Copies of this chain bind each other. A is one copy, B any other.
């Protein structure tokens, strides 16, 4: 149960819209709930502004659906990432109203009261077309967490005029997520053009000495533009979660 939903509930009590006893029942959650194979953290949105996100990889379809049901039972909505086809099928059958994004490998359900919208735009920039799945994961996550998302696609440094032509988009963002594989040079260039926070997501796009994303990861970590931060390879989800922490700060 998220902080803003608890607040809404309390205001409802104050206004007489609900009697205290009923409110108590709604509030009386344990901080976590134990399934056989998982311990659901029901207080995460109180602490972090968003419910626990389910990492689909390595979990069976049955496990994922059970966890999703446990979250949905609190009207919280859910977001599942890295969903394999079988689990996607199971989830969308169980929750027909859920949004399934195949390229992003995500399924999400909007909760009873969606999270407050963060301040400013999260701009997601990709270096190349092959980086799109990671950008999609970032986009789905950012939207789920209550953010306005813009996109800039395939503007890698090999043709830098494509990027410079979009300087206005870059400068008007509150946070920029830069998704880039291979040489990973784009975050440094963008970091040098703007004053807002820049989060680099190295991707596993490339081959040979790209070492499944190690090359752009190192590039981003060594960015000569001060203040670029980095998340794990292909971690579109993490970048969006970090960006959402920024847009929801006060």
Residues of chain A at the chain B interface (Cβ within 8 Å): 31-32, 34, 36-39, 41, 43-44, 47-50, 52-53, 55, 57-59, 63, 67, 82, 120, 127-130, 132, 153-162, 165, 174-175, 182-185, 188-189, 191-199, 202, 204-235, 237-239, 241-242, 244-246, 248-250
Closest CB-CB distance, A143 to chain B, in whole Å?
15
From B153, B194, B195, B239, A39 is in contact (CB under 8 Å) with: B153
CB distance from A46 to the nearest CB of B (A): 9
Q: Is A226 a contact of B208 with CB atoms below 8 Å?
A: no
Given B39, B128, B198, B214, which contacts A55 in the complex, CB threshold below 8 Å?
B128
| From A34, A36, A82, A192, residue with most partner B Cβ within 10 Å | A192
Determine the residue in chain B with the shortest Cβ distance to A44. Answer: B159
- A54 and B107 alpha carbons, distance in the complex (Å): 31
Query: Chain B residues near A129 (CB, 8 Å)?
Result: 37-38, 58-59, 63, 67
Q: Are B229 and A221 in contact (CB under 8 A)?
A: no
Chain B residues lying within 8 Å of A207, measured Cβ to Cβ, are 57, 82, 232-235
